[in-house]
Structure formats: structure tokens, C-alpha cells
Chain A
Amino acid sequence: MEVHRHLDEELDRLRDTVLLLGGEAEAALRRAMHSLVDRDVSVAHEVLEHDDVIDELEVEVDRQCIDIFVLRQPAARDLRFVMSVAKTAPLLERIADHACNIARAAIDLTHEPELKNQIRIAEMGEIASSMLAQALDAFTRSDAAAAREIIKRDAEINDLYNEIFSELIGMMVTAPATATRDARLLLVAKHLERIGDYVTDISELTVYMAEAAIIKHQRGNL
């Protein structure tokens, strides 16, 4: 016989909070990339100003997780869910921090002439945003198969990063006058590459949540 559990209400509330955090991180990334590509400084400032809200949400997730661990002592799939949320929240907060760094770069670059590599960075941003959105969907559905597909996509973002890296280094050598802008774009590309890594980590946690399988550090064994 199924019984009503107060724990279910707390787990639902925790799920809502972490998804809210995920949505905020997703929006921060999308808006930061918009500010960079469309040279919209006001949006970049909004991203920076909104970061406190994201930090607060992470703390709220921590608080709820600690309460559930201490007061409810979850087991089995409940334990795996709370554990995964507790580890996902800081990843989302760091993704938002990277979005802030991209917004800062957008502010710095807005008065500089546009570089052609910005287009490829926009493409990289699209991939990162779409991976993050898919990872949050997979997390919500506890869909390990979808999470595994997302992990495979990390190679796309890494390959693009390596190409952009080579191009920007090449430009620094051939056109030293653009070196400052190139360096800023290189940092943006690195932020996006790191976001890809965090999305991969979130997807690995989804696999753990769904299947109790730890697959991190085992890329060959998806």
C-alpha cells in the first residue's frame, strides 16, 4: 500500500528549486552570449546584477538538501536524488559564474571592432546552451539514456574550442594589434568549454540518480 510521505513534498520542493536554479543558469548563459554577439551592454549588466539571485538559489538548495539528509535520512532513489541535486547545484552556480565572465568580456569588447571568430564563438555558445537545456530536461525526467547522449556531445564543444584556440593564437601572431581582443575571445571560448564540462558532470549525476551507476572519469564506458 502506498502511503503519503512528507518527504515527497520536500523532494518536490527541492526539485522545483534546483530546476529554478537551472533555468536561471540557462538564462544567464543565453543572455550573456546575446550581449556578446549582439553587443548589448545593458543585457550584460543585467546578467551581472542577477547573479546574486542565482547564488541565493544555490544556498537554498544546500539548505533543503541538508534538511532532508538530517531530518529524513533518505535511502535508495530518494538518497540518490538528493545527493545528485546537492552536487548539481554548485555546477549550475558555476555555469552562471562563467556566464557572468562572458558578460564582462562582452562589456569590454563592445567598443572594439568585431572579429570574425565571434561567429564561431556564437556557434559554441549555441551548443553549450542547447547541451545545458537538454541536460536539465534529462535531469527532470531522470532519463539516463538522454544524459549519456549529452555527455557524448561534449566532444563537439571541445573540438570547436580547439579550432577557435588555434585560430585566435594564429591571429595574435599575424595581427598583434588585435591581440587584446583575441585574448578576451579566447577566455570566452574557455568559459564555454568549461560550461560543456559542467553540463557533462550534471549528466553523469543524472545517470547516477537514475541507475545508481557512477560513470564519471570513464568516458570510454558510457
Chain B
Amino acid sequence: MSTPTTMVTPKFDIRSNSVSTSEAAKISVSHLNFFYGRHQALHDISIQLPERMVTAFIGPSGCGKTTFLRTLNRMNDVIPATRVEGEVLIDGENIYAAGADVVELRRKVGMVFQKSNPFPKTIFDNVAYGLRINRVTSNRAELAARVEEALTNAALWSEVKDRLNSSALGLSGGQQQRLCIARALAIRPEVILMDEPASALDPIATSKIEELIFDLKKQYTIAIVTHNMQQAARVSDFTAFFLLGKLIEVNTTEKMFTNPNEKLTEDYITGRFG
């Protein structure tokens, strides 16, 4: 994929109370319903995630934000008795269409989880893992170059370049999380889904992850679930508020945190319920 050098930010005009962005939707979700057995967890969700922007999903526990995030790369498929209705288009293609290639989807849409989960392998092998199983390259020099690229993009290279053959489990929690981001970046995805990526980290490590997200959006479309509203305010261009499985409001983050359209949103972000 191309690597733009400029960063696009959505514009919120406080005088006209209007939002504009020149970016097209990378992901377009229409009338999405999701069921765990007979329980409906998501109700008629429609949202667009603009390309090369960060969209944060916020809401109280159990509101469906993580479930929704996981519908974007069909991670919920592995849970028995789940069912999806509606449409999720990535670059115009429905990822739930019959015959959709799930392996290719997960290559295109990487994921970082709440708890860092490095493999009990070396730092190098962790990052190279996806490249090897996807048979991206068998050339050692090329593999090393791709690992370096991923670690550099994850802002970890300078900290680990002299110990690539050490165990990844010896890294700090923040470094392990950035290693997992590097692992996701290694296969050059186009979208990165992050499920509370900094919730278990200290403020310094959190700050590094947030800076990294800011840098990554130059190249990637990012969706992030967070419980930390200040974090959503700091890192995202758009914020979507979920409640009881419904998408209540999606707006520019600036508008959402200064003057949301919906009273429910206002009550949630001002701590009046939840």
C-alpha cells in the first residue's frame, strides 16, 4: 500500500456545528445485528470508518463495543452459536459474503488485544511469525528487513535491536504490547483493530502506545476500543458511543467531547451514568 506523508484530520467547524472529512470510508457497516445464541448483542449498527483515521469506540461495560470491533475481522466466528446479520464492507467488499476469504481478511485487518500476548519465542520470531505462516517470504534478508520495519513502525526497534534473539517474555508490559503491535504490522495490514491496548499499562507505556497510534494513522485505518475517555479524546479523530448494543452517536471526537448531539452521550461522557 502507498505511504502518504501527510496526515488528514477531520474538520469540525464550531461556528456551523458541522463536520467534514475528505477521506473515504475504509469500512462501511450497514444494519449490523449480532447474536450470541438467542441474545442479541448488537442492534442495527450502521457506521463508516474513514480511511487513515482513528475511530474510538466508547461505552459502559457490556455495551457491545468489543463485540462490534470483533465483527470487523470476523473474530466472533470462533465463538459457537453466534450469528451476524447485515453488511460489513471493507474497500467495498462484504467480509460476510459467502466465499469471503477469512485468512485474507485477517491479513488485511490486524488486531491487538487488551492483554499483550507474545508467543514464548524470541522477539524476532514473534514478529516474523505471521510472515512465516503466511509464507510471505523465505528469504532471510527480506524477513529480517520486514521484522526491522515492523519493529521500527511500532516504535520498538531502538529498544530491542540488540536483543532480537532474547525471549519476548523478558520485555516490559508496554514493550510486549508494542511487540504485539509490531507482530500485527509485520504482515502489512490496512486496518488495525485495538481492544483496550493500553488498559493494563502504566502512564508512560500508555503514552508511548498513544503516540504510536498517532503515528500509525498516517498509514493505517485504526479502530480502538477504550474504557478511558481521555484516551479516546487524545488519540481518535472520530468517537462512537455504544449503549446496550446500540450505536447512540458517532461524531468527530472534538464535537463528541464538547457538544455531543445526543443527551445519552452527554450523560455518559460527563459521568452522569455508567
Give A residues with C-beta under 8 Å from B.
Answer: 1-3, 5, 7, 73-80, 211-214, 218
A218 touching B271, Cβ below 8 Å: no
Chain B residues within 8 Å of chain A by Cβ, number: 18
The CA-CA distance from A212 to B16 in the complex, in Å, is 10
Known: A212-B14, A212-B17. A76 touches B273 (CB 8 A): no
A7 touching B271, Cβ below 8 Å: yes
A76 touching B259, Cβ below 8 Å: yes
A75 touching B270, Cβ below 8 Å: yes
B273 touching A80, Cβ below 8 Å: no
Chain B residues near A80 (CB-CB < 8 A): 258-259
A74 touching B17, Cβ below 8 Å: no
Which of B15, B269, B272 lies at the interface centre, i.e. has the most chain A CB atoms within 10 A of its CB? B272
| Secondary structure of the B contact surface, majority rule | loop
Q: Of B258, B259, B273, which contacts A1 at CB under 8 A?
A: B273
Chain B residues near A75 (CB-CB < 8 A): 229, 233, 257-258, 269-270
Chain A residues near B257 (CB-CB < 8 A): 75-76, 79
A-B contact count (CB 8 A): 46
| Secondary structure of the A contact surface, majority rule | loop
B260 interface hit (Cβ, 8 Å): yes
Q: Of B229, B258, B259, B272, which contacts A5 at CB under 8 A?
A: B272
A218 touching B259, Cβ below 8 Å: no
B138 interface hit (Cβ, 8 Å): no
B258 touching A218, Cβ below 8 Å: no
Q: Of A7, A76, A213, A218, which contacts B17 at CB under 8 A?
A: A213
Q: Of A2, A73, A76, which contacts B258 at CB under 8 A?
A: A76
B271 touching A5, Cβ below 8 Å: yes
Known: A214-B14, A214-B15. A76 touches B271 (CB 8 A): no
21 contacts between A and B (CB under 8 A): A1-B273, A3-B273, A7-B270, A73-B230, A75-B229, A75-B233, A75-B257, A75-B269, A76-B257, A76-B258, A76-B259, A76-B260, A76-B265, A76-B269, A77-B270, A80-B259, A211-B259, A212-B14, A212-B17, A212-B258, A213-B15
